[in-house]
């Protein structure tokens, strides 16, 4: 039985292998964590399948992960009796790792290298944990037999650009991964761990995999007293004292403690950090955790973690939720989207609900009253956790995950007020500090009726935006909203504590009354400018926003903002151009010059140029792109020359 084939790795896969081997060498021990984690996942999948097909287990019902070290041949093996893989699954999951986000992993690893912080958690986050074996091995052999299959498969590679795959024999289901360890080639490497040593293996398992739910076992050799009937006798016919013999016994290396079921006061910070690392493959300790045991009509236990750093895949379409669902310690599923809303997808942890149906499916979960109740309560408790964080810790959280949390403002009506309290923004007065909406309201001037904000993609540009000139003059604070998601936030959050949110670029700000005499003086010019610019603007009028700039563009109260239009265009959406209002600062000296040109010859080319220049200045002032850069350069050049 062979059917042997040789395949080549794709170029990016070989590049990935080189990066893993060379970049993460100082964290070599993570290979064992990843292989144990894969073995645990394989057993989880089998246990779940057995809920609906008990016969799939056969006579092999005692789950375990076995580590075998061979010092003489320099190999280490990790074996499980989980669900195993078919030939097709091996090619899909191991042979090509096309499903593992290779390009994303490479980009993240390169970024990590640039920042000078090579992160071992990248391996786990991007699902390429199996390949961490090549950090310590110059050849890896995988033998696997799928549950219910008659034949097994052998995959082998030296990580050198190719792999072989063939049919083989294996007596039982599950997977064996055999690592042929590299020879140490330098004095520095000689000082590193010997992964065939019992002590080293025990240390790594305790450090990284103590919480795995299945026994991680290893055969160990021990000295024990020789039984009397086998002992050597002295001249008096009595057993000689101190006789021992070598005995090989299978010992369990991990505690298998379901940390979430323990009393929360008994779990140490170190244990929390390691369990979080086990769940998330994140090398950084969590920022905060929440350990709940709910009793009553619905009982469940939850252990939840808030990451200190935003996961790399947070905004990717293939992103996963971080919650694993259990029922009486029996694994049901990971990536459990039903237990938390999308805007809390970064939360990692475990929920153990004993009242769930073990035959649960995603369709049943969506309709299950128990799940809906758990989701509602957990969401409220997590939002409360955020609200009770210290200012410094919350600032750290918000800098990383604020944009995701904001999604809840327009998707979670029930918790909108709580989420509004959690929002933080820089303002025209706060400098580098983000402030809450509550603090903004508390600092409003006595004559200020509305909360002013402006949206855009750059804080520096927003701070110096022409639309804010009169607001700043009056001492009114303006919220600077520089995340794309803020456009959806302000559509849903129209007021806070009875104060309406008002865009600084839309509608009439009613800051000052327009000088009617001055307006009448410029009325004919404004009408003419509207005619010249009729393809671009819907009106031309005196501005109550501007103090120093000559012109700006504004929208009506219910118009789409310029930034929203920019976002939608960038996403590829086709949409009609929105005509906006050209507002002019009638006190600016340029307007007097244009008025003089108009009164001298309203058909002159120079007047038309200057009218278009005013529009271009307004467009550039808000970060827009002008239609005719060459004309703009010519007019500005002529002005400079004159």
Tell me if 152 sits within 8 A of 40, measured CB to CB.
no
Q: Was 85 annotated as part of a binding site?
A: yes
Q: Was 84 annotated as part of a binding site?
A: no
DSSP 582-630: EEE-TTSHHHHHHHHHHHH-TT-HHHHHHHHHHHHHHHHHTT---S-HH
Q: Was 127 annotated as part of a binding site?
A: yes
Closest CA to 209 of 33, 30, 31: 33
What lies within 8 Å, CB to CB, of 500 at 6+ separation is 449, 450, 451, 494
Residue 98: beta bridge partners? none
Closest CA to 104 of 321, 316, 259: 316
Q: Was 99 annotated as part of a binding site?
A: no
Q: What is d(CA 596, CA 600) in angstroms, rounded to the nearest whole number?
A: 6
Q: Was 130 annotated as part of a binding site?
A: yes
Q: Was 296 annotated as part of a binding site?
A: no
Q: Was 242 annotated as part of a binding site?
A: no
Could you give the 3-state DSSP secondary structure of residue 478?
Answer: strand
Give first-to-last CA distance, the chain, whole Å. 90
Tell me if 177 sits within 8 A of 132, measured CB to CB.
no
Q: Was 362 annotated as part of a binding site?
A: yes
Q: Was 80 annotated as part of a binding site?
A: yes
Tell me if 214 sits within 8 A of 43, measured CB to CB.
yes
Q: What is d(CA 16, CA 100) in angstroms, rounded to the nearest whole number?
A: 11
Q: What is d(CA 309, CA 399) in angstroms, rounded to the nearest whole number?
A: 9
Both tokens assigned to 243: 């006789």
451-455 and 499-503 beta bridge pairing: parallel
Residue keyed to tokens 């379409």 = 317
Closest CA to 209 of 26, 30, 27: 30
Q: How far is CA 508 from CA 494, 532, 541, 544, 547, in A?
A: 17, 24, 11, 8, 15
Q: Was 241 annotated as part of a binding site?
A: no
Q: How far is CA 434 from CA 288, 309, 383, 422, in A?
A: 21, 18, 19, 11
Q: What is d(CA 477, CA 453) in angstroms, rounded to the nearest whole number?
A: 9
DSSP 283-325: SSPPSEEEEEEE-SSS-EEEEEEE-SS--TTTTSTT---EEEE
Residue 333: beta bridge partners? 325
Q: What is d(CA 348, CA 319) in angstroms, rounded to the nearest whole number?
A: 13
Q: Was 100 annotated as part of a binding site?
A: yes
Q: What is the DSSP letter of 485?
A: T
Q: Was 148 annotated as part of a binding site?
A: no
Q: Was 22 annotated as part of a binding site?
A: no
What lies within 8 Å, CB to CB, of 315 at 6+ separation is none
Q: How far is CA 440 from CA 23, 462, 466, 479, 507, in A?
A: 47, 18, 22, 8, 22
Which residue positions form the known binding site for ATP?
34, 38, 80, 85, 93, 100-101, 125-130, 175, 362
Which residue positions form the known binding site?
34, 38, 80, 85, 93, 100-101, 125-130, 175, 362
């Amino acid at each position: 039985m062979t059917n042997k084939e040789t395949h080549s790795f794709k170029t990016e896969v070989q590049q990935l292998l080189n990066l893993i081997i060379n970049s993460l060498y100082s964290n070599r021990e993570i290979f064992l964590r990843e292989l144990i984690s894969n073995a645990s996942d394989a057993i989880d999948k089998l246990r779940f399948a057995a809920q609906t097909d008990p016969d799939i287990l056969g006579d092999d019902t005692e789950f375990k992960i076995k580590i075998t070290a061979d010092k003489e041949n320099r190999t280490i093996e990790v074996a499980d009796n989980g669900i195993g893989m078919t030939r097709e699954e091996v090619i899909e999951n191991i042979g090509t790792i096309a499903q593992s986000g290779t390009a994303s992993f490479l980009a993240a690893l390169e970024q990590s290298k640039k920042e000078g912080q090579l992160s071992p958690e990248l391996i786990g986050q991007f699902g390429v944990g199996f390949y961490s074996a090549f950090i310590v091995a110059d050849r890896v052999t995988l033998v696997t037999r799928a549950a219910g299959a008659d034949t097994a498969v052998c995959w082998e590679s030296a990580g050198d650009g190719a792999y072989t795959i063939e049919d083989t024999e294996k007596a039982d289901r599950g997977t064996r991964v055999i690592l042929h360890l590299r020879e140490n080639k330098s004095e520095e490497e000689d000082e590193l761990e010997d992964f065939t040593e019992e002590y080293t293996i025990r240390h790594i398992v305790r450090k990284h995999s103590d919480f795995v739910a299945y026994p991680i076992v290893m055969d160990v050799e021990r000295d024990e007293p020789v039984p009397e009937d086998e002992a050597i006798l002295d001249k008096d016919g009595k057993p000689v004292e101190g006789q021992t013999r070598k005995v090989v016994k299978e010992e369990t290396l991990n505690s298998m403690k379901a940390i979430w079921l323990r009393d929360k006061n008994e779990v140490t910070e170190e244990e929390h950090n390691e369990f979080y690392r086990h769940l998330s493959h994140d090398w950084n300790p969590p920022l905060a955790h929440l350990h709940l045991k709910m009793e009553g009509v619905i009982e469940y236990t939850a252990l939840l973690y808030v990451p200190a750093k935003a996961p790399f895949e947070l905004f990717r379409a293939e992103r996963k939720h971080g919650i694993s669902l259990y029922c009486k310690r029996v694994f049901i599923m990971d990536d459990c989207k039903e237990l938390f809303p999308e805007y809390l997808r970064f939360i990692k942890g475990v929920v153990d609900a004993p009242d769930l149906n073990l035959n649960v499916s995603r369709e049943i979960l969506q309709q299950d009253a128990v799940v809906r109740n758990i989701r509602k309560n957990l969401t409220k408790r997590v939002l409360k956790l955020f609200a009770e964080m210290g200012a410094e810790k919350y600032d750290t959280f918000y800098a990383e995950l604020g944009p995701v949390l904001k999604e809840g403002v327009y998707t979670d009506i029930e918790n909108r007020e709580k989420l509004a309290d959690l929002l933080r923004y820089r303002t025209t007065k706060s400098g580098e500090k983000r402030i809450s909406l509550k603090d903004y309201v508390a600092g409003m001037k006595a004559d200020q009726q509305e909360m002013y904000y402006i949206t855009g993609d750059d804080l520096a540009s927003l701070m110096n935006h022409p639309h804010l000139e009169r607001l700043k003059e009056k001492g009114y604070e303006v919220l600077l909203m520089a995340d794309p998601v803020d456009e959806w936030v302000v559509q849903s959050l129209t007021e806070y504590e009875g104060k309406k949110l008002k865009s600084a670029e839309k509608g009439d700000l009613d800051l000052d009354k327009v000088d009617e005499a001055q307006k009448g003086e410029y009325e004919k010019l404004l009408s003419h400018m509207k005619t010249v610019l009729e393809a671009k603007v819907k009106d031309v009028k005196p501005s109550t926003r501007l103090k120093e700039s000559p012109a700006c563009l504004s929208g009506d109260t219910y118009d789409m903002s310029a930034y929203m239009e920019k976002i939608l265009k960038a996403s590829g959406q086709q949409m009609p151009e929105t005509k906006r209002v050209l507002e002019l600062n009638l006190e600016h000296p340029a307007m007097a010059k244009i008025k003089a040109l108009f009164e001298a010859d309203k058909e002159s080319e120079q007047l038309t140029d200057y009218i278009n220049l005013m529009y271009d200045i307004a467009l550039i002032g808000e970060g827009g792109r002008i239609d005719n850069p060459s004309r703009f350069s010519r007019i500005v050049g002529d002005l400079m020359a004159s």
